Amino acid sequence: MPNETRATRYHRSRLQAGAAAFLVSLLVLVACGPVGAGPALAGALAAVLGDSPVAQWAATAAFAAVVLAAVHAASYPFDRHREWTLEGRYGLARLSAGRWLRTHVRGIAARITAGTIVALVVAATWRWCGSAWWIATAAACYLAHLTWTVTAPLLLGAFGGLRPLRRAALAERLGALVRRSGVDVAVREWRGGDETVQAHAALAGLGRTRQILLSDTLVDTLRDDEIEVVVAHEIGHHVHGDVWRAAAWRLIALPLTTGTAAVVMARLGAPAGACPFAPAIAGSWATLPGALPWLPVVAAAGLTAHRVLQPIGLALSRARELRADAYAVRLTGGADAFVTSMRRLAQTNLVDDQPPRLARVLSSHPPVRDRVMAALRQAERGAAAPSAAAGRHG
């Protein structure tokens, strides 16, 4: 396709690599299920760990960790292509291969740890909540997500990732903007420029931890008036309660995801109503090899349901972004800085200005052209409103 832009090729390649990683992950989970290698792995764990109650939970954690390690090993080539090869090929990464690999391995270790904890939660809720295990699991995951939302800025600050804005004039300007908006939120700088050239801003935290984070690359890339409108956009998210709106969608999506897993397991003949480790169903360790392989089924069904529901959440996200754009234009009094900031960020982050339909559906933000046009219309309405009022009073 000779007329494709560089950004289009970049994002299409990322989508393809991400889809391949997802499909390979599903295949590995299926291969570790009841009709695959799962029973043999569970039997080996039973032989090594014994049959004590503590050993049963240790086997659950070990089984989950081994399966997740296999998933990440299988998807590694696609993850590397997406996160390293493409980023370097298109000039977006600043990491050496060795440093990227170390960062990637740490990320995998964190994801395996989190996945293992989720597997233990599934086992515990299945044992203690019977057929309502999927509701209890969704509730536990939701609470964990809220906890992460609250603590993430604190952790980032504790590990040296956040700092006050370096430029006093910019800090004063943004402080005046925050006061003009009538909200109470801090603006801080996030250090990530040694890893990527991409520029980002985000509203992070909840309650007392709420703050606006600007990447150092954004501070170095945009003019002060452009940074001001970006911060106004994030203030718009705060004013509209968008963090809570996103949390409300998760409150719907999580039970649908775990409920789908419960239905799939029931249709496939999994033990129902209690965990396979419960004394009423599995009084001895000998039944464990037939129980643990259902954990990959939960994961595969949950991941698939999540992908099916994802476009709904992304559509809601795009609507929130447009509302925050309109608020930023109103708060800053014009669209010029907004338009130039969007175009500059699109160039810096290699954003596709006119993405294909599938890319639009799978994006959390509207296309840049749509955002620019909506901002210009908002500015026109803002300019027309005083004129109309003057005409009525004249």
DSSP letter for each residue of 303-363: HHHHHHHHHHHHHHHHHHHHHHHHHHHHHHT-SHHHHHHHHHHHHHTT--SS--HHHHHT-
pLDDT in tens, 127-172: 788 788 899 999 999 999 999 999 988 888 877 788 899 999 999 9
pLDDT in tens, 166-204: 999 999 999 999 999 999 999 999 887 667 888 999 999
The 8-class DSSP code of residue 365 comes to: S
Closest by CA position to 119, among listed 279, 258, 220: 258
The neighbour count for residue 11, using CB atoms within 10 Å, is 21
Cα separation, 31 vs 293, whole angstroms = 10
Confidence grade of residue 272 (pLDDT, cut at 50, 70, 90):
low
Adjacency order of strands within the sheet including 211-215: 162-163, 186-190, 211-215, 201-204
Percentage of the chain exceeding pLDDT 90:
58
- Cα atoms found within 13 Å of the Cα of residue 57, Cβ hemisphere only: 10
Confidence grade of residue 352 (pLDDT, cut at 50, 70, 90):
confident
Question: What pTM does this model have?
Answer: 0.87
pLDDT of residue 4: 72
- The long-range contacts involving 31-34, CB below 8 angstroms and separated by at least 24 positions, are 32/67, 32/70, 32/293, 32/296, 33/293, 33/294, 33/296, 33/297, 33/300, 34/268, 34/290, 34/293, 34/294, 34/297
pLDDT in tens, 11-55: 999 999 999 999 999 999 999 998 889 889 988 988 888 777 788
